Amino acid sequence: MTSQQSTEPFAAAIGSRNRVNVAAKRPGSSKLRRRFRGLAPYTFISPFYIIFGIFGVFPILYTFWIALHDWNPLGEPEFTGTKNFVNLATDPRFWNATKNTFSIWFISTIPQLFLALGLATLLNHQLLKVKTGFRMIVLSPQVTSVLAVGIVFSQLFGRDFGLINTALVEPFGFERVDFQVGTWSSHVAVSTMVMWRWIGYNSLIYLASMQSIPKSLYECASIDGASRFRQFIHVTIPQLRSTIIFTVIVSTIGGMQIFAEPLVFAGIGGAQGGSKRQFQTLTMFLYEQGFERFKFGYASAIAWALFLIIVLFALLNYFVTQRIAQDEK
């Protein structure tokens, strides 16, 4: 190999490095790089905000625009201003649906969270075997079709051949209960369906949070002579405060939007929630006005009322929990 051939790679490397240095010294190249570095983070997260704006913010704003019209798909929309909101405020069907929604939410959410907390405690017990299997069983309601759940529970709460009446009502000498006819009984039936579906989900959230609690806290409590129950009250519950706040807010949002369970429980013509609207929720009332009576403007006003109720409840939960946390400090 000649000396000329051996120096060719070094010359090529030196030449390429010089070209890079020259390019780096070009005016404006450093400014472009700095600008790109400043915009890069926003570029990476922009897909989320673009999708959220298209499928989240725009529908909400467009729904408000529809609520200002007498909007029927068979005719031309007519601008009516706040007429739909005024009519909604004086509509007894709306207040009945609001009352039913709050009643079902209260009956289903509060017992559900307590039962989920107890179930998570059992799943977190040291003596429990086959923990993975039990956790899969607990989560099985989440992969079950809502339609199937509604059909099964409708049969369980049936008046003539329902298992609840046959096993729990008749043996004690009571008359059979028609769960669909009564207001209180229908709320209990629908709440039971909601509880069965979401207890496992919330229990796994609590379980994940319990497993992150340091073992040293329980050891210190045991040394001080605290029983299992006192450890649960004074160690577990305070450590789960943020998780409990999360589940309460999420359960409130979901409870205000309950739709599938009462609709399937009602059967044919179920959007009215029974013959006397005894378990019609806000979302069912919205569905009835929008997709059965084709009053899209009025349905949009109901949607905005539901949106404001959910926002107010979320803010109320937040301020209450923050106040409790400050008082404990």
- pLDDT confidence of residue 316: 83
**Do the beta carbons of residue 285 and residue 302 sit within 8 Å?**
yes
φ, ψ dihedrals at 31, nearest 5°: -65, -40
Last residue of a domain, one of 67, 98, 121: 67
Instruction: Tell me whether residue 178 is in a domain.
Output: yes
Say if pTM beats, i.e. exceeds, 0.85.
Answer: no
Q: Same domain, yes or no, for 90 and 41?
A: no
pLDDT class for 76, splitting at 50, 70, 90?
A: confident
Q: Same domain, yes or no, for 129 and 98?
A: yes
Q: What is the pLDDT of residues 33-52, one digit of tens each?
A: 777 677 778 888 889 999 99
Q: Same domain, yes or no, for 106 and 231?
A: yes
Q: Say yes or no to pLDDT of 24 above 80.
A: no
Nearest to 316 by CA among 237, 256, 238, 234: 256
CB atoms within 10 A of CB 51: 10
Q: Same domain, yes or no, for 53 and 118?
A: no
- pLDDT confidence of residue 268: 62
* Full residue range of the structural domain in which residue 303 is found: 86-328
pLDDT class for 12, splitting at 50, 70, 90?
A: very low
What is the average pLDDT score of the chain? 83
Mean pLDDT score, 72-92: 89
DSSP letter for each residue of 143-180: GS-HHHHHHHHHHHT-TTT-HHIIIIIGGGTPPPP-TT
Q: Say yes or no to pLDDT of 235 above 70.
A: yes
Q: Same domain, yes or no, for 202 and 245?
A: yes
DSSP letter for each residue of 13-54: HHHHHHHHHHHHTSTTHHHHHHHHHHHHHHHHHHHHHHHHII
Q: Say yes or no to pLDDT of 78 above 80.
A: yes
Q: Same domain, yes or no, for 210 and 294?
A: yes
Domains contained in the chain, number: 2
- pLDDT confidence of residue 284: 92
- pLDDT confidence of residue 89: 93
Q: Same domain, yes or no, for 55 and 178?
A: no
Q: Say yes or no to pLDDT of 299 above 60.
A: yes
d(CA 114, CA 25): 67
Q: Same domain, yes or no, for 119 and 194?
A: yes
